[in-house]
């Protein structure tokens, strides 16, 4: 009788462990073992198995099992200890798929801003925005005090486009220089977080005007080229010819992973310090608390310099976040990068219908990271 109860207890423990990994009512271990996620063997990334880098293959498989259910997801990549350990593509996409990554662009604009400061093109974070807009006359004296720091923290005072019809119309017009004056502030600079793609675009203009190079050329010289990544040539420009600093950059999922790993490595790539470690650290630090409501297992969401931060399970993560659920997520304590590429729902007629799909894609990444134990 005693042996019987021990056997029953052991069976219950096994069932509990299995349900924790697989999920109640979820796929069986056999189904998970059949989920494909082995990375393609190419020269641009060293690969490894999950076991070789200390990841539970069942947890990895569970993420890719869920990815198969997402109807707007294009790609899911997992990089651990600098090695690509999992990769797959969906809904007609493949490793060459390159598309607009929406507001993930802002994190690239942040990097280019830091490089411009590091190289001496921009004097620093206390630079006044209007110092680089001598062609714009403003009547609101508060605008004269907007700093680059406030712009990077989304505290310049300009409204969220989705919350202002005037800002929304301007965003899709492509006419952005005059909007520095024409769009009224909805808060005093430095007092309130308000997510503004126009502000990020103007940051890109500051970089371009300070360096004498357009954002694409500056990026190719100091970031994209040295990092061995190639942005798509269809990156949109405004009507004045400036590349959109707040959105629309095009990269493959593997290119995005390379950018994430650059931040994981403190701005160092292939022996070159492409971005100063201090800029990386400052960009990922939380400068604004409670910038966004919880999304799935992303809690306590804050904001740095065009990078988001959140608590996820036992981990503190940072992420570049683009419309539709395009993501580059960094879990520094795990030396882990997760990339999600997805339909960006580009265009005013599709933009506002994306949230259920976007939330599902974000939840996929958050659930996976939250499932991983601390190291």
In DSSP terms, 79 is beta-bridged to 84, 337
Pick out the chain residues at pLDDT < 50: 1-23
pLDDT digits (tens, 9 = 90+) for 299-334: 999 999 999 999 999 999 999 999 999 999 999 999
- Give the C-alpha distances (Å, rounded to integers) separating 37 from 104, 199, 322: 24, 38, 23
Are residues 290 and 371 part of one domain? yes
- Look at the alpha carbons of 76, 203, 113, 142 in this order and tell me if their dihedral is positive or negative: negative
Are residues 111 and 89 part of one domain? no
Res 251: pLDDT: 98
Are residues 72 and 45 part of one domain? yes
Which residue's structure tokens are 């992303």?
298
91-123 burial, b at 16+ Cβ within 10 Å, e below that, comes to: eebebeebbbbbbbbbbbbbbbbbbbbbeebbe
Are residues 205 and 183 part of one domain? yes
Residue 291 within any structural domain of the chain: yes
How far apart CA 309 and CA 330 sit, in angstroms, is 9
Question: Is 337:344 a contact under the CB 8 Å cutoff?
Answer: no
Residue 15 within any structural domain of the chain: no
Res 25: pLDDT: 61
Are residues 83 and 46 part of one domain? yes
Domain total of the chain: 2
Residue 344 within any structural domain of the chain: yes
Tell me the residue range of the domain where 122 lies. Answer: 104-229
Instruction: Say which residues have a Cβ less than 8 Å from residue 157's Cβ, sequence separation at least 6.
Output: 142, 143, 146, 150, 185, 186, 187, 188, 189, 190, 191, 192, 194
* DSSP SS3 for 348: coil
Are residues 158 and 78 part of one domain? no
How far apart CA 355 and CA 348 sit, in angstroms, is 14
- CB neighbours (10 Å) of residue 374? 9
In this structure, what token pair is assigned to residue 342? 């997805």
Q: What is the DSSP letter of 47?
A: B
Are residues 280 and 317 part of one domain? yes
Which residue's structure tokens are 């600098």?
82
Assign residue 252 a region (left: φ > 0; alpha: ψ between -120 and 50; beta: otherwise).
beta
Res 26: pLDDT: 84
Residue 274 within any structural domain of the chain: yes
Are residues 329 and 259 part of one domain? yes
Residue 238 within any structural domain of the chain: no
Q: Which of the listed residues 198, 229, 260 is the one where a domain comes to its end?
A: 229
Instruction: Say which residues have a Cβ less than 8 Å from residue 338's Cβ, sequence separation at least 6.
Output: 76, 77, 78, 79, 327, 328, 329, 331, 365, 368, 369
Residues constituting the chain? 375
Q: Which of the listed residues 178, 195, 229 is the one where a domain comes to its end?
A: 229
In DSSP terms, 118 is beta-bridged to none
Are residues 302 and 271 part of one domain? yes
Give the residue from 18, 14, 22, 19 showing the smallest Cα distance to 66: 22
Res 350: pLDDT: 86
Q: Which of the listed residues 181, 197, 229 is the one where a domain comes to its end?
A: 229
Which residue's structure tokens are 């494909």?
36
Res 3: pLDDT: 36
Residue 215 within any structural domain of the chain: yes
CATH of the domain at 45: 3.40.710.10
Question: Is 298:366 a contact under the CB 8 Å cutoff?
Answer: yes
Residue 223 within any structural domain of the chain: yes
Are residues 331 and 215 part of one domain? no
Residue 55 within any structural domain of the chain: yes
Distance, C-alpha 56 to centroid of its chain? 25
Res 348: pLDDT: 86
Are residues 188 and 85 part of one domain? no
Are residues 109 and 91 part of one domain? no
């Amino acid at each position: 009788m005693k042996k019987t109860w021990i056997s029953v207890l052991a069976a219950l423990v096994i069932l509990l462990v299995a349900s924790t990994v697989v999920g109640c009512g979820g796929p069986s271990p056999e189904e998970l073992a059949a989920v494909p996620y082995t990375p393609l063997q190419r020269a641009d990334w060293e690969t490894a198995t999950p076991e070789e880098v200390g990841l539970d293959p069942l947890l990895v498989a569970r993420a890719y099992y869920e990815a198969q259910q997402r109807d707007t997801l294009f790609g899911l990549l997992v990089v651990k200890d600098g090695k690509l350990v999992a990769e797959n593509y969906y809904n007609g996409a493949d490793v060459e798929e390159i598309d607009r990554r929406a507001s993930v662009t802002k994190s690239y604009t942040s990097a280019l801003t830091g490089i411009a400061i590091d190289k001496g093109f921009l004097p620093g974070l206390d630079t006044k925005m209007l110092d680089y807009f001598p062609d714009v006359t403003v009547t609101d004296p508060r605008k004269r005090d907007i700093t680059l720091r406030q712009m990077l923290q989304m505290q310049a005072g300009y409204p969220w486009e989705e919350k202002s019809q005037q800002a929304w119309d301007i965003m899709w017009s492509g006419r952005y220089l005059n909007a520095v004056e024409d769009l009224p502030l909805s808060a005093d600079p430095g007092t309130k977080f308000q997510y503004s793609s126009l502000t990020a675009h103007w940051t890109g203009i500051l970089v371009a005007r300070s360096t004498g190079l357009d954002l694409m050329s500056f990026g190719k010289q100091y970031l994209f080229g040295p990092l061995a990544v190639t942005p798509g040539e269809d990156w949109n420009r405004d009507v004045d010819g400036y590349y959109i600093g707040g959105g629309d950059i095009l990269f493959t999922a593997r290119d995005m992973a390379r950018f994430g790993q650059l931040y994981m490595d403190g701005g160092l790539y292939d022996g070159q310090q492409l971005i100063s470690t201090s800029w990386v650290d400052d960009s990922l630090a939380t400068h604004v608390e409670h910038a966004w409501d919880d999304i799935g297992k992303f809690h306590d969401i804050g904001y740095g310099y065009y990078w988001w931060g959140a608590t996820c399970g036992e981990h503190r993560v940072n992420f570049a976040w683009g419309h539709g659920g395009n993501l580059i997520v960094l879990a520094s304590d795990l030396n882990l990068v997760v990339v999600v590429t997805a339909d960006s729902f580009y265009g005013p007629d599709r933009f506002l219908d994306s949230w259920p799909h976007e939330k599902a894609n974000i939840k996929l990444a958050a659930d996976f990271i939250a499932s991983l134990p601390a190291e």
